[in-house]
């Protein structure tokens, strides 16, 4: 499982990160060190598989309650038209 | 009365007795925070704090919390409605949340006064404060050194006398390690006992909010306020909470203090070893029984932490896509390019590194992530076996005292491995406390860690309280003298 700048490029695409060539090289060196540390983990016997986190103790009741203030939520938007968030075009 | 040297509870008492007013101490805190030169704060909320202080002073007769009127600070990954919450990242530099975190609401209900948002490693990823977009917080004991991380600013603010307690967050040690480096008492609570609603997520199965204070009694008071179930966080556990302060005792008779001998071996600074082991002697004099046990920690503990934490971070930070909030970049040709550009601009190098490692771990799901989850279970089993023989464990918090600024970047892997004492309790979801137990030859604080069984906060707080009755390390202040 060698880590190369090409590996980093693939991981960056999966992670939706745009990296410069220098960043790819530096990250490759860093990841080699980190993955080397994790070799001890890879050597473990995983037994009967991953333990799953404890299930929530109980979900809250499914009933409508007041939500947040529209104006306050719109204030968080990078752009809005007074009613809705304006987002970059994703289709067409 | 030197106000800045008091504990939070001592100040709360002085306020209720009318010896000092809330506006007076709030103004003092703000003045000190502005002039401290330690970069502890990202945002100071002077106007809001003074307005709140005046309002609280007018209702002093209604005060029913020992923290009423006490100025405090909040790590800047805790959402505060109407107040900037940056996570020390360019990604959220201009973001103001429309709601407050559960713990923020709870402390407000208790009458505490927030004076601002403290500095941290970006998105809580780091152990020195140096990945912050705004530069690192500096250690009040020696400003050429780190205050630790990721709750660097919270630790620096309390240790430097800028406020009387602070909230931080602890994923792999980020409350306890800065507490150790800054001479404070800090607690990572049992996972599930404090709501994460409004805590900006790093690793959801590990993150916990915790207090950084001058002593164990202050920590007990803060935990009484913030430990409770919350319908908005399904990982919180129903149960009986509160009463930690009332239940505090300095009587250690009958308590079994486990000393895991394998944790005091090679790689631990000699002065740290001596100071931490001396804690056992003090508690023995208070009636505790000291039990030596091996408890060797497997060599993959740090690896298991980074596998789980980075995998979860990779998932959690995918929400920062430049669409709904945060930094936005215009001009790219496609939505994918736009998001990639935003994330490239918005995140620092360490955050990118952890996102990529998380993606790698998840790409090799069986080899790393699945095994890390199993490893986590076995760590829990090791602790359960230990707690059959003792009530709490005494360990170092860190292998050495606070490093120089810049040192961690030069030895990044070594810096990660320095989390070796704090990671196991985090993986197992156990409560753990760090308290000052001495100073090294350079005058830097040394921290001792107490780890308890699940929901064993009273046990570790009682041991800390007993220790702090007979020692003065927690009463020393960077500006000199003891209180």
Find, in chain A, the residue whose alpha carbon is nearest to that of B427: A53
CA distance A24 to A20: 6
Catalytic residues of B: 75, 150, 174
Cβ distance B353 to A30 less than 8 Å, yes or no, reads yes
Number of Cβ pairs < 8 A linking chain A and chain B: 154
Q: Are strands B71-75 and B445-451 parallel, antiparallel or unpaired?
A: unpaired
**Is A1 in the B-facing interface, judged by CB distances under 8 Å?**
yes
Cβ distance A50 to B318 less than 8 Å, yes or no, reads no
Which of A14, A15, A59 is opposite residue B234, by nearest beta carbon? Answer: A59
**Is A29 in the B-facing interface, judged by CB distances under 8 Å?**
no
Cβ distance B370 to A49 less than 8 Å, yes or no, reads yes
Q: pLDDT digits over B398-451, tens only?
A: 999 999 999 876 666 666 777 999 999 999 999 999 999 999 999 999 999 999
**Is A62 in the B-facing interface, judged by CB distances under 8 Å?**
no
Which residues in chain B have Cβ-Cβ distances shorter than 8 Å to A57? 234, 237-238
Best A59, A77, A88 member to test B by mutation, with max B CBs in 10 Å, is: A88
Q: Which residue matches tokens 């009127």? A: B69
Q: pLDDT digits over B259-284, tens only?
A: 999 999 999 999 999 999 999 999 99
CA distance B357 to B189: 27
Find, in chain B, the residue whose alpha carbon is nearest to that of A55: B235
Find, in chain B, the residue whose alpha carbon is nearest to that of A70: B98
pLDDT band at A2; cut points 50, 70, 90? confident
Find, in chain A, the residue whose alpha carbon is nearest to that of B328: A78
Cβ distance A44 to B237 less than 8 Å, yes or no, reads no
Residue stretches of chain B with pLDDT short of 70: 409-415, 481-483
The total number of residues shown for chain A amounts to 92
Cβ distance A50 to B369 less than 8 Å, yes or no, reads yes
Cβ distance A38 to B368 less than 8 Å, yes or no, reads yes
pTM: 0.96
DSSP B153-222: HHHHHHHTTSSSEEEEEESSSTTHHHHHHHT-EEEEPPTTSB--TTBPPS-TTT-EEEEEESSHHHHHHH
What is the maximum span of chain A, computed from C-alpha positions, in angstroms?
A: 56
User: What is the reported pLDDT for B336?
Assistant: 85
B232 burial via Cβ count (<10 Å: 0-12, 13-18, 19+) = middle
User: What is the reported pLDDT for B356?
Assistant: 95
Cβ distance A16 to B343 less than 8 Å, yes or no, reads yes
> Contact, B462 vs B249, CB < 8 A?
yes
**Is A55 in the B-facing interface, judged by CB distances under 8 Å?**
no
Q: Measuring CA to CA, how many Å separate B456 from each of A79, B39, B136, B241, B306?
A: 48, 35, 33, 11, 26
> Contact, B213 vs B238, CB < 8 A?
no
Cβ distance B347 to A17 less than 8 Å, yes or no, reads yes
User: What is the reported pLDDT for A48?
Assistant: 47
Which residues in chain A have Cβ-Cβ distances shorter than 8 Å to B338? 88
**Local structure of B15: helix, strand or coil:** helix
pLDDT band at A1; cut points 50, 70, 90? low
- Is the predicted ipTM greater than 0.95, yes or no? no
Joined tokens for residue B69: 């009127």
CA distance B117 to B162: 12
CA distance B414 to B420: 10
Cα distance from B54 to chain A (closest Cα, Å)?
26
Cα distance from A82 to chain B (closest Cα, Å)?
15
Q: In what order do the strands lie in the sheet with B289-293?
A: B41-44, B113-118, B71-75, B165-170, B208-213, B185-188, B432-439, B445-451, B392-396, B256-260, B289-293
Q: pLDDT digits over A12-63, tens only?
A: 999 999 999 999 998 898 888 888 888 888 777 765 445 555 566 677 788 8
The closest alpha carbon to B104, from B112, B95, B93, B94, belongs to B112
DSSP B270-296: HHHHHHHHHHHHHHHHTTPEEEEE--P
Cβ distance B371 to A42 less than 8 Å, yes or no, reads yes
DSSP B223-234: HHHHBS--TT-T
- Residue-wise burial string across A18-46, b where 16 or more C-beta atoms lie within 10 A, e elsewhere: bbeeebbebbbebbeebbebbebbbebeb
Which residues in chain A have Cβ-Cβ distances shorter than 8 Å to B303? 37-41
Q: How many CB atoms neighbour CB B173 within 10 A?
A: 32
φ, ψ for residue B169, nearest 5 deg: -135, 150
> Contact, B481 vs B443, CB < 8 A?
no
What's the half-sphere exposure (Cβ side, CA atoms, 13 Å) at B412?
A: 18
Joined tokens for residue A17: 């990160």
The closest alpha carbon to B71, from B8, B134, B117, B132, belongs to B8
Find, in chain B, the residue whose alpha carbon is nearest to that of A78: B325
> Contact, B133 vs B93, CB < 8 A?
yes
Best A2, A44, A85 member to test B by mutation, with max B CBs in 10 Å, is: A44
């Amino acid at each position: 499982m060698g880590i190369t700048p090409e590996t980093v490029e693939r991981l960056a695409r999966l992670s939706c990160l745009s990296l410069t060539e220098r960043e790819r090289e530096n990250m490759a060196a860093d990841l080699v060190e980190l993955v080397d540390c994790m070799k001890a983990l890879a050597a473990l016997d995983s037994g009967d598989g991953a333990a799953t986190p404890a299930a929530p103790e109980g979900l809250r009741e499914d009933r409508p309650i007041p939500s947040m203030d529209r104006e306050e939520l719109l204030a968080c938007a990078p752009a809005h038209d007074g009613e809705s968030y304006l987002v970059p075009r994703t289709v067409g | 009365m030197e106000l800045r040297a008091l504990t939070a509870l001592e100040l709360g008492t002085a306020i209720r007795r009318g010896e000092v007013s809330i506006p007076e101490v709030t103004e003092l805190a703000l003045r000190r925070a502005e002039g401290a030169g330690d970069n502890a704060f990202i945002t100071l909320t002077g106007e809001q704090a003074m307005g709140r202080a005046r309002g609280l002073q007018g209702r002093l007769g209604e005060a029913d919390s020992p923290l009423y009127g006490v100025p405090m600070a909040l790590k800047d990954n805790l959402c505060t409605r109407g107040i900037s919450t940056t996570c020390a990242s360019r990604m959220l530099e201009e973001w103001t949340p429309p709601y407050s975190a559960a713990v923020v609401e709870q402390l407000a209900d208790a009458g505490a006064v927030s004076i601002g948002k403290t500095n941290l490693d970006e998105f809580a990823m780091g152990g020195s404060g140096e990945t912050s977009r705004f530069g690192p917080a500096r250690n009040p004991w020696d400003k050429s050194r780190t205050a630790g991380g990721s709750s660097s600013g919270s630790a620096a603010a309390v240790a430097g006398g800028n406020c009387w307690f602070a909230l931080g967050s602890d994923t792999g040690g980020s409350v306890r390690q800065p507490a150790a480096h800054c001479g404070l008492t800090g607690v990572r609570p049992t996972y599930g006992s404090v709501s994460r609603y409004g805590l900006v997520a790093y690793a959801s199965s590990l993150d916990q909010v915790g207090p950084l204070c001058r002593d164990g009694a202050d920590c007990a008071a803060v935990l009484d306020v913030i430990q409770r179930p919350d319908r908005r966080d399904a990982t919180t556990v129903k149960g009986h909470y509160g009463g930690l302060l009332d239940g505090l005792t300095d009587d250690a008779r009958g308590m079994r203090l486990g000393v895991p001998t394998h944790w005091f071996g090679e790689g631990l600074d000699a002065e740290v070893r001596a100071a931490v082991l001396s804690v056992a002697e003090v508690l023995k004099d208070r009636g505790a029984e000291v039990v030596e046990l091996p408890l060797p920690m497997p060599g993959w503990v740090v690896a298991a932490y980074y596998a789980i934490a980075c995998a979860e971070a990779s998932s959690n930070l995918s929400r920062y896509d430049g669409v709904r909030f945060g930094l936005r970049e215009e001009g790219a040709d496609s939505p994918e390019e736009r998001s990639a550009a935003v994330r490239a601009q918005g995140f620092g190098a360490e955050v990118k590194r952890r996102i990529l490692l998380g993606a790698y771990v998840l790409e090799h799901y069986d080899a790393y992530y699945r095994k890390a989850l199993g490893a986590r279970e076995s760590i829990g089993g090791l602790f359960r076996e230990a707690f059959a023989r003792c009530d709490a464990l005494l360990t170092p918090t860190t292998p050495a005292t606070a490093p120089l600024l810049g040192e961690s970047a030069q030895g990044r892997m070594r810096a990660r491995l320095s989390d070796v004492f704090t990671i196991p309790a985090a993986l197992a979801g156990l409560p753990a406390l760090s308290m000052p137990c001495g100073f090294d030859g350079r005058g830097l604080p040394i921290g001792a860690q107490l780890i308890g069984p699940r929901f064993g906060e009273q046990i570790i707080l009682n041991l800390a309280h007993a220790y702090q009755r007979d020692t003065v390390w927690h009463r020393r202040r960077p500006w000199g003298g003891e209180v």
